[in-house]
Amino acid sequence: MLDFAAMRATLAGAYDLAPSMQLAEEMREIHARMDRVVPLADFARHAPYIRAINRLKAEKNAVILAHNYMTPEIYHGVADVVGDSLQLAIEATKVEAGTIVQCGVHFMAETSKILNPAKRVLIPDMAAGCSLAESITAEGIATMRAQYPGAPVVSYVNTTAEVKAASDICCTSSNAAQIVAALPEETIIMTPDQYLAQNVARQVPHKKVVWWAGSCIVHEQYTTEDITEFRKWNPDTRVIAHPECPPSVVAASDFSGSTSGIIDYVAREKPQKAMLVTECSMASNISDALPEVDFVGPCNMCPYMKKITLEKILWSLHTDGPEVFVAPEIAAKARIAVERMIELSRAVAK
């Protein structure tokens, strides 16, 4: 458990972290990437942290890999690479710096460690979990295998290293349908996201997809009523849903894709109004780059992703911790499942 008082006292002694309008003005170039969603007065609180983190990153030869759900001050202020789960996994294999600071949730940090074991991988808050990763264990995989003998197990990357190690191949929201379609077996076990599995089953009707009953606490909250009600008084809104949403929600939407798939779609189509049926920070992060788009409608926050803050990133770099470890025998097996996914993704993209 983080001792916030001790952390703040140490940081205040080591860095100049007082809010500063002058510094905010000096860092206008960074602020310009988020000024539609972060007022300058607010940026004045973030600026000292952004400066300290960026200096420390250079001093300590560290890179920050940040998920698309990070808040704008992280996404635009300190991240070296941003992306969806697949992009971050691929980027992790390419990191040359000695330290990766994973700004996302724990399974993402584990994936980086699995793919690039020689690097020190830090996560600013060890409690940044995921309801999907928590929903299944390696025993759960064994139960599914016993129920469907011979069927391969495709596990979402939103799982622990132990679960990946017990699986045949991984998938992310950007390649799940292609991976299921490319496997030779007719029956495919998908874990742990029942909704992703059901959405894939609709895209790949010639396969029998069976699933584990996990769900994402952020996306399961959306309902078709949210969308139909919203469309009634906002008929020209483009509705874009993440495939962790229930299939009825995805069916009621105009497009569904991974977080980066959603960003690419909005950037390409530039609808006048867009409702992103996913985590809140997505719209905030792309708002300045797409001033012609009005982001409307409800959004839900991921309490795990939101555990990562500028303050904890600075603490992580200051203390070189907390570090993520994966037992080498588990990592070796999990690496096979993740690398198979990356290879298959590349092959189908050609």
Residues 311-350 that bind ligand 13P (CB under 6 A): none
* Residue 172 partner contact from ligand 13P, ligand SF4, none using kind-dependent CB cut-offs of 5 to 8 Å: ligand 13P
Question: What is the Cα–Cα distance from 33 to 288, expressed in whole angstroms?
Answer: 6
Question: What is the Cα–Cα distance from 178 to 82, expressed in whole angstroms?
Answer: 23
The DSSP call for residue 135 is T
Q: Which of 259, 284, 287, 309 binds ligand 13P (CB under 6 A)?
A: 259
Q: Which is nearer to ligand 13P, 237 or 278 (CB)?
A: 278
* Residue 64 partner contact from ligand SF4, ligand 13P, none using kind-dependent CB cut-offs of 5 to 8 Å: none
Long-range contacts, stretch 220-225, CB < 8 angstroms, 24+ apart: 220/195, 220/244, 220/245, 220/246, 221/300, 222/246, 222/249, 222/277, 222/298, 222/300, 223/248, 223/249, 224/248, 224/249, 224/251, 224/252
Give every CB contact of residue 14 below 8 A, 6+ residues apart in sequence: 318
Question: Angle at CA 191, nearest 5°, toward 189 and 195?
Answer: 100
Instruction: Establish whether 61 is an annotated binding residue.
Output: no
173 contacts ligand 13P (rule: CB under 6 A):
yes
- Least CB distance to ligand 13P at residue 91 (A): 13
Burial class (CB in 10 A: 0-12, 13-18, 19+), 160: buried
Instruction: Establish whether 158 is an annotated binding residue.
Output: yes
Q: Which of 53, 171, 216, 263 binds ligand 13P (CB under 6 A)?
A: 216
- The candidate with the shortest Cα–Cα distance to 221, out of 286, 137, 278, is 278
- Whether residue 203 contacts residue 177, with contact meaning beta carbons closer than 8 Å, is answered with yes
No. of H helices and E strands in the chain? Answer: 18, 12
279 contacts ligand SF4 (rule: CB under 6 A):
yes
Q: Which of 305, 310, 314, 344 binds ligand SF4 (CB under 6 A)?
A: 305
193 contacts ligand 13P (rule: CB under 6 A):
no
244 contacts ligand 13P (rule: CB under 6 A):
yes
Instruction: Establish whether 210 is an annotated binding residue.
Output: no
Phi, psi for residue 152 in degrees, rounded to 5: -70, 150
Between strands 120-122 and 169-171, the pairing is: unpaired
130 contacts ligand SF4 (rule: CB under 6 A):
yes
- Least CB distance to ligand SF4 at residue 151 (A): 24
Quick note: the x/- pattern for ligand 13P over 68-97, rule CB under 6 A, is x---------------xx------------
Residues making up the binding site for iminosuccinate: 67, 85, 156-158, 173, 242-244, 259
Residues making up the binding site: 67, 85, 130, 156-158, 173, 216, 242-244, 259, 302
- Per CB under 6 A, residues contacting ligand SF4 are 105, 130-132, 158, 216-218, 244, 279, 302, 304-305
